[in-house]
Chains A and B, each alone.
Chain A
Amino acid sequence: MKTATNLDVYYEAVSASDKLAPIQEMIRACMQCGTCTGSCPNAFAMDYTPRQLWRLVLLGQKDEIFRSKTFSLCSDCYLCTLRCPRGLHLTEAMDALKQIAAGENRAEYKYSILFNKNFMQSVRRHGRVKEMEFMTNYFTAVKNPLVPFRFASLGIKLIAKGKVSVSWLPKARFPLEKIFQKVNELETPP
């Protein structure tokens, strides 16, 4: 049985000050042609297709949007942006959704957020990701002993191919600290 989505008359769910409002603004011209879904290489793994996600955004269905893992699966390939006949910046809109989810520290995205955070920390420190350090930090942060097992088979494959540097490497010669600080500065509202 399908559930009815009740649209609120006053649209309280999405007021102008709401975080979703700027994303709605970005995709208003969407006419649901589905080019984004058709071109999305990750659509097969998404619970909502990109077109459905945009529809939910326009209809202001916040709860559903942030229960979905669609935007967290976006790999920023920009195919949808390239092909959208309406010229919408869909990849940016996906990123904006990710940022809201991260900013609100939503439980649904706990692992994704921690993954991202630890990944970036490693990059910040070394100028590139140090796989061993990153893995250790990530697994510690998730506080779930089962998670490392989930990655075990992938990890073995990567090590076998020499994709994981096992040694502790010295600090990078050109740390990205300054860039990260600048980004922080730009992103922090005055």
Chain B
Amino acid sequence: MARKIGKALVVGAGIAGIRAALDLAESGYGVILIDKSPHIGGILSQLDYQFPTDHCGMCKMLPLVDRDASSQYCLRKGLFHENIDITLSTELVSIKGEPGQFQVMLKEHPNWVTSDLCTGCGECVDACPIEVPDEFNSGLGTRKAIYLPIPHAIPNPYVIDYTVCTRCGACEEMCPTGAIKIPEKARGDFRILVVDDELIVRDSLKEWLAEEGFAVDMAASGQEAIEQLSQQTYQLMLLDLKMPEMDGVEVLQKTIDEFPDLDVVMMTAYATVETAVEAMKIGALDYLVKPFDPETLIPMVKRLYQERAASEGRQIEVGAVVLCGGTAFFDPASGKNTFGYGIFPNVVTHLEFERLLSGTGPYHGQLVRLGDGQALQKIAWIQCVGSRDLQLEADYCSNICCMAAIKQALVAKQKARGNLDTTIFYMDMRTFGKSFERYRQQAEAKHGVRLKRARIHTVDRHAACGDLILRGVDLAGQSSEERFDMVVLTVGQRPIGGANDLSELAGIELNSLGFAQTEAFSLTRSSRSGIELGGSFTGLKDISDSVVQASAAALNASRILHAAGGSLALKSSSFIPSTDVLREVPRILVIVCTCGVRLPAAVDTQKVIEQLTADPLVDGVDFVEQTCTAAGWEHLEKRVAESKPNRILIGSCLPYVYKRKIKDLGQRIGLNPSLIDVVDLASEYQKHVLEKEPKEFITQNVTSKLEMGIARLKWIEPSAPPDIPVIQRALVIGGGVAGMTAALAIADHGFQVDLVEQNDRLGGNLNWLERTLDGHQPTELLQQTRTSVEKHPQIQVHTQTRVVRSTGEVGHFQTTITDAQNTEQTLDHAVTILATGGREAATSAYGYGTSPVIVTQKELEEKLSNQPLDATQLHSIAMIQCVDSREEPRNYCSRVCCANALKHALHLKEINPDIQIYILYRDMMTYGFDESYYTRARKANVIFIQYQFTEKPQVMANQESVRVTVIDSIINRPIQIEADLLVLATGIIPNLPTQLAETFGASVDEDGFFQEADSKWRPVDSLKEGVFACGLAHSPRNIAESITTAEAAAQRTLRILGHERLSAGKVVANVHHSLCSLCERCIDACPYRARSIDMDQDRVLVNPAMCQGCGSCAAICPNGASVLEGFLEQQMLEMIDAAIG
């Protein structure tokens, strides 16, 4: 099998990291996925509910083709993929080399719990005396120093937080499996030399440090210190700066070269801090200002010790790096804290509130007041805490908070069964994403979430009842006071701690705010080639945008790997083809893991053997002490080699963990891995043991579990998973910037692409876009992209061409196109990308069309670039935002218009500072870093007037000028504006005819945009595999965002194009044609559109690559004609017999 051998490193295993890793793994690369924390999932592991479904759905990211390469269960619990190597508690140390050949140094935190041995019994937790705030519950609860990072992970070994552990050893004594090994003398091995001429300093330092278990020696002078250093190895020297004879700097100079492994920390009086800083330039690590107390000294020494204790770095070679550095949040207790966070118990951040909502949270999802435990009845959200705040130097919007607050309000209402009053205090409700606006309106109108445009300045607490008092003013200026049980502060984004270090070691640039900086027109490219950026490291993102961006980052990383020659090379493999055992009588070897002494203690093993061997098909029953250990597995393999069974059943724990081992084993002994199965016995008998059930009962239960496994294996058909051939070509429809980007991305991987454009030239909307808000040049981008596309040997451009029809499915579509001369041509391709674009909506509102001085945003841009409009001659311009938008029938925000208005306003002000510009808006959607341009425009004297949806501006125009009357909500009275020009922001409508979408089996949403398979987790996929969308056909986006969707869509196609044959999962549906009555119910039932009817042969067909094995078809079929492989009727009945027998 052709396999790519390139390797990529993905740093950060949050949602973006997981997506990028899966994308690269699915297209055949090896991926090393690391995370600083001891678990995967990032922030998402703490969030249970996501809008718009108010559920999770993370599992939808799992591979859909070649499914068996990966785990197929809850992704919040864990992730296994045969191409992904996950290393947790690991940090990046350095990245050297160049794109295609990076040498990366990683450092793993010490792990004192052997995860293979940990059974998760939790006895260590009871023994541990240390209690610290629990970060999983955002500090709302506490945990021990030995703890489960997240309660639901599988496998879920305990970890020790070595930064707080005192190494008392209590857990080590309690552990029944001996999984914990605390390096006892570790601190004793860490020798510290204290050099000071004052005895009292030496003595107290020695006392403090010795108490912590460190080995401490003292020296009274520089000379003495040098002598001691030559006799004994020290790890750390605490060196006084000012000493008679030889001062600290001199000692440092004399020792630094000779003892390169010695860390030196200077001790200095306040007056000589500058000298200490100088010493750091010579090579001292840090300095301490005297007088200091143990609280300053000990943590510093501990930190240095831990840095050393962390296991030695590991160097790996990778071709590309995807950096998903994640995000931090504003701490509302810092600064003025007028909201009383940390002072009043019921003032929480929105992250803490997520934990309160969660069933795994500190209150098990019960919405109660913290403190008195009463049911919550009134909750308020305060938006923009730490965002859009110039005093806090946060001149940006944090993107996700508005939707997060609405979602939380809805989920909370649902949890409280309606007995909850929710109010969100906001400044602008930024519902700029696809479907956001409708979600907001429904929350308000249908579910009664109150949205109040008001900024709360202070939270007070009623002394007697503890209610929180919020005071604010409404738009009319009326002050009001309201009481709430709880106040949720929707806190804004901050750069991660250590962002500077990360940027330095990775050699990438940060923006002025401390977030990772991306290149022009890209959301993923960092300033260093070969290092791609993903997730909220570049600015806070919701799931959908994170997933899109991560796929795009994977694509760009894949490009580097491909260019470095890392693709389509043969991977050497000692693969033994499976022997065909179909016609053999099943001989089943049962191997049961005893888990030390646990199983024999709970179960009568002899009885198990007796019962199982009664079945003639069972070849033997064998007990192995620990299959999870290397020795245990070896024993198992030996046993298999001896008896040569043709089916193997392993009874142990956590079947998920065995996936890769089983595959290896199968390949080594030439047995199809589907004939090896693992049943979970441990959780079964451990549960019963805890409940103190009698031994016979537990034995019976364990036996039935094994019998079920035997029944399943007996009936298993050892056929190879089906696969389908792939025509390794792609079709991209639409030659705008998204289509061209997607085509280039695919073609750069060596696959042929047909690019179909209905106009006579490529470029789409870039043909008229002159500038962007952030000052980049779309014209240059167009030039470059168009030239690359036209020159690319793998891209065939078809201009003035339309798609007539298409048939087929993933792997092989046949699409007929017709050109200007009506010549038809049929293209064969495996995948389709719909990049048909969008355009500015037409309007008849506000007198458009009655006067030449009323123009749209696009017309203004054209007029400014072709110069028929002389801005120096203009006196006054009015702009109206949200024209026909955010109201039925076009009830969505077009995302780009506010930025566009600012772009024009700032440009016009630059040409002619005397121009008066009025922007009439509903909510300024300047999300993310665009917020700073909003501030800039305000400062440039652009007047912003917020109008109410119910009282839209009135326009009266003649041929030269226009008079706009608008009610200013603040002073609540009409204002008349005389303007030379009125600019209407009419928004974007898609160019995606329903018929075109349907011919490829995709569908469009109620606004005519592409309907994604899942708006959050599969944002560029269609429900029908093999069809993807990007650019404006997908959703309104700016240029960089459109390009990102295009890259993401291209990446999604590479999963398919990269294979000559696409292999399905083991569990796929099939049809017994002789039983089928062609009622077609299964076709409607299939959620993946994997079924079709072949009219010629009167047959229902299943595309095995599209089928996800859900079994809906088998359940709905009235004749039993539709079956699911691996779930045969006889097999199921026999398993049920075993279960209840």
Question: Do A and B truly interact?
Answer: yes
Contact A51–B973 (Cβ < 8 Å): no
What is the bound-complex CA distance between A34 and B971, given in angstroms? 12
B943 closest partner in A (C-beta): A58
Least CB distance from B952 to A in Å reads 16
Contact A31–B875 (Cβ < 8 Å): no
Is residue B473 within 8 Å, beta carbon to beta carbon, of the partner chain?
yes
* Most chain A CB atoms below 10 A, which of B392, B940, B943: B943
Is residue A157 within 8 Å, beta carbon to beta carbon, of the partner chain?
no
Contact A4–B976 (Cβ < 8 Å): yes
Of B458, B477, B935, B938, which one neighbours A49 at CB under 8 angstroms? B477
Residues from chain B with Cβ under 8 Å of A55 in the complex = 968, 970-971
Is residue A87 within 8 Å, beta carbon to beta carbon, of the partner chain?
yes
Contact B390–A85 (Cβ < 8 Å): yes
Is residue A59 within 8 Å, beta carbon to beta carbon, of the partner chain?
yes
Is residue B814 within 8 Å, beta carbon to beta carbon, of the partner chain?
no
A10 closest partner in B (C-beta): B875
From known contacts A51-B473, A83-B457, infer whether A9 and B973 are also in contact, taking CB-CB under 8 Å. no
From known contacts A4-B965, A5-B973, infer whether A44 and B938 are also in contact, taking CB-CB under 8 Å. no
Of B941, B944, B976, B979, which one neighbours A6 at CB under 8 angstroms? B976
Is residue B215 within 8 Å, beta carbon to beta carbon, of the partner chain?
no
What is the bound-complex CA distance between A51 and B970, given in angstroms? 7
Is residue A84 within 8 Å, beta carbon to beta carbon, of the partner chain?
yes
B968 closest partner in A (C-beta): A55
What is the bound-complex CA distance between A135 and B777, given in angstroms? 69
What is the bound-complex CA distance between A92 and B456, given in angstroms? 22
A54 closest partner in B (C-beta): B970
Contact B970–A38 (Cβ < 8 Å): no
Is residue B294 within 8 Å, beta carbon to beta carbon, of the partner chain?
no
Contact B943–A32 (Cβ < 8 Å): no
What is the bound-complex CA distance between A44 and B338, given in angstroms? 21
- Surface stretch bound by B, among A22-30, A95-103, A118-126, A165-173: A22-30
What is the bound-complex CA distance between A4 and B971, given in angstroms? 11
Is residue B391 within 8 Å, beta carbon to beta carbon, of the partner chain?
yes
Contact B916–A11 (Cβ < 8 Å): yes
Is residue A164 within 8 Å, beta carbon to beta carbon, of the partner chain?
no
Least CB distance from A90 to B in Å reads 12
Contact A24–B970 (Cβ < 8 Å): no
Contact A34–B943 (Cβ < 8 Å): no
Is residue B870 within 8 Å, beta carbon to beta carbon, of the partner chain?
no
Is residue A114 within 8 Å, beta carbon to beta carbon, of the partner chain?
no
Is residue A35 within 8 Å, beta carbon to beta carbon, of the partner chain?
yes
A36 closest partner in B (C-beta): B457
Is residue B384 within 8 Å, beta carbon to beta carbon, of the partner chain?
yes
Least CB distance from A43 to B in Å reads 6
Scan B973-998; emit 1 where CB is below 8 A from any A CB, else 0: 11111110000000000000000000
Residues from chain A with Cβ under 8 Å of B938 in the complex = 28-31
Contact A85–B454 (Cβ < 8 Å): no
Count residues of B near A (Cβ-Cβ below 8 Å).
44
Of A5, A28, A39, which one neighbours B458 at CB under 8 angstroms? A39
Is residue B635 within 8 Å, beta carbon to beta carbon, of the partner chain?
no
Residues from chain A with Cβ under 8 Å of B944 in the complex = 31
What is the bound-complex CA distance between A94 and B386, given in angstroms? 26
Least CB distance from A36 to B in Å reads 8
Contact A34–B390 (Cβ < 8 Å): no
Is residue B574 within 8 Å, beta carbon to beta carbon, of the partner chain?
no
What is the bound-complex CA distance between A120 and B977, given in angstroms? 44
Contact B390–A31 (Cβ < 8 Å): no
Contact A38–B390 (Cβ < 8 Å): no
What is the bound-complex CA distance between A76 and B160, given in angstroms? 55
Contact A85–B384 (Cβ < 8 Å): yes
Is residue B471 within 8 Å, beta carbon to beta carbon, of the partner chain?
yes
Contact B473–A29 (Cβ < 8 Å): no
Contact A34–B472 (Cβ < 8 Å): yes
Is residue B647 within 8 Å, beta carbon to beta carbon, of the partner chain?
no
Count residues of A near B (Cβ-Cβ below 8 Å).
39
Residues from chain A with Cβ under 8 Å of B391 in the complex = 84-87
Scan B906-946; emit 1 where CB is below 8 A from any A CB, else 0: 00000000001000000000000000001100111101101
Residues from chain A with Cβ under 8 Å of B475 in the complex = 34
What is the bound-complex CA distance between A13 and B475, given in angstroms? 26
Of A5, A33, A34, which one neighbours B974 at CB under 8 angstroms? A5
What is the bound-complex CA distance between A7 and B934, given in angstroms? 22
Residues from chain B with Cβ under 8 Å of A7 in the complex = 975-978
From known contacts A52-B970, A52-B971, A87-B391, infer whether A35 and B479 are also in contact, taking CB-CB under 8 Å. no
Is residue B876 within 8 Å, beta carbon to beta carbon, of the partner chain?
yes
B392 closest partner in A (C-beta): A85
Contact A29–B970 (Cβ < 8 Å): no
What is the bound-complex CA distance between A56 and B968, given in angstroms? 11
Contact B935–A29 (Cβ < 8 Å): yes
Least CB distance from A53 to B in Å reads 9
Is residue B182 within 8 Å, beta carbon to beta carbon, of the partner chain?
no
Beta-carbon contacts under 8 Å, A115-141 to B: none
Contact A82–B336 (Cβ < 8 Å): yes
Contact B939–A29 (Cβ < 8 Å): yes
Least CB distance from A171 to B in Å reads 43
Of B392, B473, B934, B979, which one neighbours A34 at CB under 8 angstroms? B473
Beta-carbon contacts under 8 Å, B472-521 to A: 472-473, 475, 477, 479
From known contacts A34-B473, A38-B454, infer whether A85 and B388 are also in contact, taking CB-CB under 8 Å. yes
What is the bound-complex CA distance between A28 and B940, given in angstroms? 8
Scan B942-981; emit 1 where CB is below 8 A from any A CB, else 0: 0110100000000000000000010010111111111100
What is the bound-complex CA distance between A84 and B338, given in angstroms? 12
Beta-carbon contacts under 8 Å, A45-90 to B: 48-49, 51-52, 55-56, 58-59, 79, 82-87
Residues from chain A with Cβ under 8 Å of B479 in the complex = 37-38, 43-44
Residues from chain B with Cβ under 8 Å of A58 in the complex = 943
Residues from chain A with Cβ under 8 Å of B388 in the complex = 31, 85
Least CB distance from A123 to B in Å reads 32
Contact A24–B427 (Cβ < 8 Å): no
What is the bound-complex CA distance between A7 and B971, given in angstroms? 14
Contact A38–B472 (Cβ < 8 Å): yes
Least CB distance from B416 to A in Å reads 28
B977 closest partner in A (C-beta): A7
Contact B390–A2 (Cβ < 8 Å): no
Is residue B389 within 8 Å, beta carbon to beta carbon, of the partner chain?
yes
From known contacts A49-B477, A51-B473, A52-B477, infer whether A59 and B975 are also in contact, taking CB-CB under 8 Å. yes
Contact B975–A4 (Cβ < 8 Å): yes
Scan B385-402; emit 1 where CB is below 8 A from any A CB, else 0: 000111110000000000
Is residue A188 within 8 Å, beta carbon to beta carbon, of the partner chain?
no
What is the bound-complex CA distance between A3 and B976, given in angstroms? 11
From known contacts A5-B976, A37-B479, A58-B943, infer whether A83 and B971 are also in contact, taking CB-CB under 8 Å. no
B390 closest partner in A (C-beta): A87
Contact B455–A38 (Cβ < 8 Å): yes
A37 closest partner in B (C-beta): B473
B384 closest partner in A (C-beta): A85
Contact B875–A35 (Cβ < 8 Å): no
B428 closest partner in A (C-beta): A31
What is the bound-complex CA distance between A34 and B455, given in angstroms? 6
Residues from chain B with Cβ under 8 Å of A85 in the complex = 384, 388-392, 455
A14 closest partner in B (C-beta): B941
13 contacts between A and B (CB under 8 A): A5-B974, A7-B977, A29-B935, A29-B938, A31-B934, A37-B473, A49-B477, A55-B971, A58-B943, A85-B391, A86-B390, A86-B935, A87-B391
Interface residues of chain A, those whose CB is within 8 Å of chain B, are 2-11, 24, 28-35, 37-39, 43-44, 48-49, 51-52, 55-56, 58-59, 79, 82-87
Closest 7 CB pairs of A and B: A87-B390, A33-B455, A49-B477, A87-B391, A39-B457, A85-B389, A55-B970
Q: What 18 new A-B contacts, CB under 8 Å, besides A49-B473, A79-B457? A: A4-B975, A5-B971, A5-B973, A5-B975, A7-B976, A7-B977, A28-B938, A28-B939, A28-B940, A32-B946, A32-B970, A37-B479, A38-B472, A48-B477, A55-B970, A85-B389, A85-B390, A87-B390
Interface residues of chain B, those whose CB is within 8 Å of chain A, are 336, 338, 384, 388-392, 427, 454-458, 471-473, 475, 477, 479, 875-876, 916, 934-935, 938-941, 943-944, 946, 965, 968, 970-979
